[in-house]
Amino acid sequence: MVSIQIRHLTKHFGSTLALDDVNLTIESGEMFFLLGPSGCGKTTLLRHIAGFYTPDQGQLLFDQRDITNLPPHKRNTAMMFQSYALWPHLTVGENVAFGLEERKLPRAQIDSRVQESLQMVRLGHLADRKINQLSGGQQQRVALARSLAVRPDALLLDEPLSNLDAKLRLEMRSEIRRICKEFGVTAVYVTHDQKEALHLADRLAVMEKGAISQIGTPRDIFRSPRSASVAAFIGEANFLPAHFLASTGPGPLATARTAHGLFTGRLTDPTWHPSPGEPVQLCLRPEALRLSDQPDLPNRIGGRLIDSIYLGELAQYAVQDPAGTTFHVSELNPALLRPADQSVVSLTAAPDDVMILRA
C-alpha cells in the first residue's frame, strides 16, 4: 500500500474545467472518500489516480514516486467500477485470476490466491459460475475480490454500491470496510451518498465544481463545515443571515445579531476572524433545533408551525418566521406529533450547535 499525493492537478475537457488545481494527500492504509454532487469532478479525480486520464497540469505521486505519466497497467491500482465491469466471457474464477495472470504468478499461487479472495467475499463456492448467473450483490463481491486479489497498492472504488438495493447496500457497506481494513489497503472511494461517506470514511474530501471545498474527518466536516455549500451538502441545514458582533470565548464562541435578536454561536473555521459588523450566515441543523412553547429563550427563533410529518423514528416540523423564511426541525423518537395548526412556537439551539459561516 502507498500514500497518494496529488499536487496542483488541473484538467480541462474541451472548454469545461473538470479539475481545478486539486491538492490532496491520502495517507497509507487510509480509507479516503471523495464526496460531492454529480458533475463535481470526483470520478474524474479517481480516474486520474487510476491513470485513465492524463492531467493538463500537476503531479501524482505514490510514496513520493512521480507516476503522472505512467500508463494504467503499470500503476498497480485496482479499480472497482460502478458497473463492476466483470467480463461476461469469463467465469467468476477466471475474472479474479485475470490480474494475477497478467502479473505472471505461478499457477498454483494463482489458484490459491483466487480461492482466498473469493472466500474473503464469501463466494468460494461460485468460482465456476458465469457472471450472468450471479445476482447484483454477488457480482459486486466478485468485483471486490478481483480488485483485491492482485494486492493493489491502492484500491479505487467508483460508487460501488449505487447499483444495489437499499438493504444490500447497508450490508455491503460494512463488508467493504471490514475487508479493506483486513487487507490494510489504501482505498479511495467515490460516492455522492453522504451516509456512506460518514459511515465508512477515515477522512473525506468534499468537492464542488472541480475543486476541493474541505478535507477532514466525518465528524469535522459534519460538525464544522467551513462553507454554506459544504454544510448544505452534508446533512440538512437552515440558514439565517446575521451581522458579526464579537468573539466572546471560550474558544471559538462568538455573537452575531439577527432579525431574531442576538445569537451566540461557534466559528467553524479557526483561521477566519470576521470583523465586527461583517455580514455572516448562521447554520442550524434541524436535529440541533428544539421546538418549544416558551417565549423567552436564548438563541430563539419565533414563528408559526405550518407543517408536521411523522416518520417513525423522527418527526419533522416546518416553522415559518414573520419574514417568511421556513426552518426545518426534527425531533428524534417523538412520543406524540404536534398538529400543523399555525400556533406560535419557539425554536432554540445550544450555542455549540449554531455554526457561524461566511455569508
Partner 1 sequence: MKRLPTYGFLLFILLAMGCFFVYPIYHTVREAFTKPGGGFTLEYIGQIFGNPLYREGLGNALKMAAGSTLGALLLALPLALLSARFAFPGKALLGALVLVPLILPPFVGTIGVKQILGQHGALNALLMPSQVASGYPADWLGHGRLLGVILMNALHLYPILYLNITASLANLDPALDEAAENLGCPPWRRFWRITLPLAMPGLFAGASIVFIWGFTELGVPLMFDFPRVTPVQIFDGIKEIGGNPLPYALVAIMLVASLLLFLLSKCLFGRSDFAGTGRASMAAQTPTLKGARGWLATAAFSSIILLAVLPHCGVTLTSLATDWNDTVLPSGFTLQHYRDALSHGLTVPSIINSLKYAGLATALDVVLGVTIAWIVVRTRLPGRHLLDALAMLPIAVPGLVLAFGYLAMTREGQPFHWLIGANEDPYWIIVIAYAIRRLPYVVRSASAGLQQTSVSLEEAAQNLGCSPFRTLCRITLPLIAANLIAGALLAFSFGMLEVSDSLILAQKGEHFPITKAIYNLNGALGNGEALASALGVWAMVFLSITLLGTGLLLGKKMGALFRA
Q: CA 291, CA 297: separation in Å to the nearest integer?
A: 11
Q: Is 72 in the site for partner 1 (CB under 8 A)?
A: yes
Q: Is 77 in the site for partner 1 (CB under 8 A)?
A: yes
Q: CB under 8 A: which stretch of 70-78, 194-202, 221-229, 261-269 binds partner 1?
A: 70-78
- HEC states along 123-180? CHHHCCCEHHHCCHHHHHHHHHHHHHHCCCCEEEEECCCCCCCHHHHHHHHHHHHHHH
- Enumerate residues 170-189 that contact partner 1 by CB under 8 A: none
Q: CA 288, CA 354: separation in Å to the nearest integer?
A: 8
Using alpha carbons, select from 18, 24, 32, 20 the residue that is nearest to residue 6.
Answer: 24
Choose between 163 and 247: whose C-beta lies nearer to partner 1: 163
Q: Is 73 in the site for partner 1 (CB under 8 A)?
A: yes
Q: CA 347, CA 72: separation in Å to the nearest integer?
A: 54
Choose between 150 and 215: whose C-beta lies nearer to partner 1: 150
- Enumerate residues 152-171 that contact partner 1 by CB under 8 A: 156
Binding mask 23-52 for partner 1 (x = CB under 8 A): ---------------------------xxx
Do the strands 300-310 and 279-284 form a parallel or antiparallel pair, or are they unpaired? unpaired
Q: CA 22, CA 190: separation in Å to the nearest integer?
A: 15
Q: Is 89 in the site for partner 1 (CB under 8 A)?
A: yes
Choose between 133 and 248: whose C-beta lies nearer to partner 1: 133
Structural contact between residues 11 and 19, judged by C-beta atoms closer than 8 angstroms:
yes
Assign 160 to helix, strand or coil. Answer: coil
Q: Is 261 in the site for partner 1 (CB under 8 A)?
A: no
Choose between 76 and 138: whose C-beta lies nearer to partner 1: 76
C-alpha cell at 89: 466471457
Q: Who contacts 338 (Cβ-Cβ below 8 Å, separation ≥6)?
A: 291, 305, 308, 315, 317
Q: What is the DSSP letter of 43?
A: H
Q: CB under 8 A: which stretch of 78-86, 120-128, 279-287, 315-323 binds partner 1?
A: 78-86
Q: Which residue has the cell 496529488?
A: 6
Task: Figure out which of the listed residues 8, 103, 107, 125 binds partner 1, where binding follows CB under 8 A.
Answer: 103
Q: CB under 8 A: which stretch of 83-91, 119-127, 213-221, 231-239 binds partner 1?
A: 83-91
Task: Figure out which of the listed residues 15, 38, 64, 74 binds partner 1, where binding follows CB under 8 A.
Answer: 74
Assign 220 to helix, strand or coil. Answer: helix
Q: CA 356, CA 359: separation in Å to the nearest integer?
A: 9
Choose between 2 and 79: whose C-beta lies nearer to partner 1: 79
Q: Is 15 in the site for partner 1 (CB under 8 A)?
A: no
Q: What is the binding site for partner 1 (CB under 8 A)?
A: 50-52, 69, 71-79, 81-83, 85-89, 98-99, 102-103, 146-147, 150, 156
